[in-house]
Structure 1
C-alpha cells in the first residue's frame, strides 16, 4: 500500500492542524510574520526559500484563514489573522524547545512584555505581572550567543535590535547602503 501524502485518514484535530501548518517552511513563514515580515520579497530573502514553495505555502495559509493578503501601496502584504495569531503559543513553545534540545550556532531570542518591560519565561509568562501576553504585547531582541551565519538581509538586520512583534519590518529598518 502506498504511503499517503496527507492526514485525511486521521480522525483528529492535530492531523487537521498539520494539514495547514505541517509542511516544511510553513512555521518559519509564520515566525517571520510574527516578527513583522509582511512582504513576499522579505520572506523569500530571509528564509532562502524558492519562489514556488513560498507561493504555495502562502496560498495554503490564506485558504486556511491563517493569513490575509492585502494591498499596501501597490505591494501585496501578508498579515496574520486572528486564527494566525492564535498560533503564537505554538511557535513560541517550539522555539523554546529548539533552544533547549537542539544545538547550533544561533543565538536565542528574548521576549519582553511591553507593559512591564520584563522578560517572559520559557512558558510565555511575564515574570513581573504573571500574565501571558500575546505577540502584540511583546518585544523581541537577540539573546546571548553568536550568530555564525552573519545574515545581512533586511529582516536579519531588523532583528539585531529590539523590535516590537507584529510591527512591519519594512518600517523598522532602513535598507542597507549599497
Structure 2
C-alpha cells in the first residue's frame, strides 16, 4: 500500500499534534523542563495571556503531561504548581529535536540562550534516530516505512 493510499485517521503524528501541536503548549513544555512550575512564572516568562495559559495548562493536565500540585504561601490562597509527569518528560526529545533544527536553520542569533551539554563529558547534546538494536544516527535513506496491520485505505 502506498503512503497516499493510506488513511491518516489514526496517524500517531496527527494524534500527537492534537495534544501538543500548538506554539504555547510547546513553550510551556519547554519552560517546565527548565524548572518553571508556577502560573505567574509561566505567564511572565512566555508572555501569553492568563486565559490562554489557563486553557493550555488545563489541557496539558487533562492529557497527563502535567500534574497540578497544590501549594500555599503564608497569607495567600492555595494555588497549583504544574510539574511534568513521566508522559510529559517523554516529550523532552521532541523539544530537543526542535531546538536542534532551530539552531541549524533559523539563524536568529550568533549564540545560544541555553547551552545544553552532557553532564559527564561536557559535549553538546544532539538528537539522533536509532533502531531498537542500537544502530544510531540513522538517515531517512536507511529506514523503511511499511503499512502496519492496522493500516486502512484512504476513503
Is the TM value for this pair above 0.5? yes
Aligned to 2:19: 20
Contact 1:110/1:119 (8 A) holds in 2:
no
Unaligned runs of 5+ in 1: 1-8, 125-178
With normalisation by structure 2, the TM-score equals 0.68
Aligned to 2:102: 98
Please give the secondary structure, in 1, of the residue aligned with 2:23: coil
Unaligned runs of 5+ in 2: 1-7, 73-77, 129-155
Find the aligned partners of 2:56 and 2:63 in 1 and give their Cα distance. Answer: 11
Moved over 6 A (4+): none
> How many residues are treated as equivalent by the alignment?
115
Contact 2:117/2:125 (8 A) holds in 1:
no
Moved more, 67-76 or 39-48: 67-76
Find the aligned partners of 2:32 and 2:46 in 1 and give their Cα distance. Answer: 12
> How far did residue 10 of structure 1 move?
2.7
Find the aligned partners of 2:80 and 2:121 in 1 and give their Cα distance. Answer: 33
Find the aligned partners of 2:52 and 2:110 in 1 and give their Cα distance. Answer: 24
Say which structure is richer in strand.
1
Q: Does 1:113 align with 2:118?
A: yes
Structure whose alpha-carbon radius of gyration is higher:
2
